[in-house]
Amino acid sequence: MERMRCDLHVHTTHSGMCTVPIARRFCRESFNDPLEVYQRLKHSGMDLVTVTDHDSIGAVDILERFPDFFASEEVSITMPSGSEAHMSVYGITVRQHQELQQRRDDLPRLLAYLQQERLLFGINHLFSSLTGPRSRSDFDWFEHHFPVWESRNGAMQECANEFSAALAARLGKPVTAGSDSHTLRTLARTYTEVPGARTAAEFLAGLRQGKGRVHGASGDWTRVTADVLTITAHMLRERPWTLALLPFTLGIPVATFLNDLRERRFAAHWAARLLPDVSAKPAVFPAAEAA
C-alpha cells in the first residue's frame, strides 16, 4: 500500500530567539539550517518535508523549490483565558501566514479565518507547561475547535504524550506526531504516516480524516539536555563573546532536570482533572503506534 511519512514538527534558524529570560537576547531557538533540515529529513526516510517555525515561514524561500515540501508554521496564540498555546497550521501560503499573524491574539477571529480558508491545524504539546499556565476552559476550546491534536511530540515526556493520546482517543480526535526538533540530530525520530497518500494534498486530507499514524520516540531528560547543550555550543560559535558565560553551562543538566520534574507535575495535574481513570492507571494508556 502507498503511504507517506512526514515529521510534522520541525524548527530552523527562522524560529527566532529562545524564550529563556536574558538568553533570548543572544541565543536562537534553533541553529538548524533549512537546507540541512531538508536533506536530513529526506535521508531519514521522510517522503514529505515541512517546517513549523515559530510565527515564521522564512524557510520557505529556501525550500519551496522542492516538490515534496509544503509550508507550515507553529503559531503562538493567545487563548480567551489569557494563557498561551502553540498551534501548527499546515499547507499555507505567504498571504495566509500574514493573516494568521494578524489574528493570533484573537482566537475566535483566528478560528473563523482558518475555517474560511479550510486550513488544517492542530494543538501541540497539550500536556506541557512549555507555554506557561493552562486554564480548564483552554481544553474546551481545544476539544470543540481544533480538528487535530499532536499526540506524540519527540521532545515531550512519554507520560505527557500518553495523556494526549488518551484524551484524543476519548474525544475521537485525529492525531499527529513530530520530533519538535531544534537540533539536526533528532530530526525524523518522531513522525506521522498516512497510508494511501501519494501527494502532500492527500497526506493532509488523510490527517483530517483521522488516517494519521504516529511513530517514533517521546522525549526525556537526556534528549532535552543534549539539545540544550547542542544549541549552547552553536551559540558560543556564533557569538564568541558568550564564552564568558561558559561556567554557567555546568548548570544546564540541573536546570533541565528541574524542568523535567515541572513538566511531569503539570501533565499529572491536568490528567487527574481530565482523565482521572487513566491517570490512576498509567499502564492502560492507549499507546500510540510504535515505529
Of 115, 258, 242, 130, the closest CA to residue 182 belongs to 130
Q: Interhelix angle for 221-238 vs 252-274, to 10°?
A: 130
Number of domains in the chain: 1
Residue partners of 230: CB distance under 8 A and separation at least 6: 183, 185
As given in the structure block, the three cell numbers for residue 57 are 515561514
Whether 229 is in a domain gets the answer: yes
Question: From the CB of residue 167, how many other CB atoms can be counted at a distance below 10 Å?
Answer: 22
Which candidate, 80, 79, 75, places its Cα nearest to that of 121? 75
Residue 191 in contact with residue 178, Cβ under 8 Å?
A: yes
In the structure, what pLDDT confidence band is assigned to residue 91 with cuts at 50, 70 and 90?
Answer: very high
Residue-number span of the structural domain to which 183 is assigned: 3-284
C-alpha cell at 253: 543538566
Query: pLDDT value at position 281?
Result: 54
CB burial of 144-165 (b: ≥16 within 10 Å; e: otherwise) equals eebbbbbbbbbbbbbbbbbbbb
pLDDT for 278? 77
The CATH number for 186's domain is: 3.20.20.140
Distances (CA, A) of 196 to 44, 55, 132, 189: 20, 31, 38, 22
Residue 289 lies in a domain: no
pLDDT above 70 covers what percent of the chain?
Answer: 95
Asked whether residue 89 is domain-assigned, the answer is yes
Rounded to two decimals, what is the model's pTM?
0.92
* Region class of 172: left (phi > 0), else alpha (psi between -120 and 50), else beta: left
Please name every residue paired with 84 in a beta bridge, in sequence order, or none if there are none: 78
In-domain check, residue 95: yes
Residues 119 and 89 sit within 8 Å (Cβ to Cβ): yes
Distance CA 130, CA 125 (A): 8
pLDDT averaged over every residue in the chain: 93
Three-class DSSP labels, 28-60: ECCCCCHHHHHHHHHHCCCCCECCCCECCCCCH
Task: Tell me the mean pLDDT in the region 162-177.
Answer: 97
Asked if the structure places residue 98 within a domain, the reply is: yes
Using CB atoms within 10 A of its CB, is residue 258 exposed (0-12), middle (13-18) or buried (19+)? exposed
Which band of pLDDT confidence, cut at 50, 70 and 90, is reported for residue 290?
A: very low
pLDDT in tens, 58-77: 999 999 999 999 999 999 99
Q: What pLDDT sits at residue 268? A: 96
Q: Show Cβ contacts of residue 102 under 8 Å, excluding neighbours closer than 6 positions.
A: none
- Is the pLDDT at 286 greater than 90, yes or no? no
In a domain, 291, yes or no: no
pLDDT digits (tens, 9 = 90+) for 5-60: 999 999 999 999 988 877 778 899 999 999 999 999 999 999 999 999 999 999 99
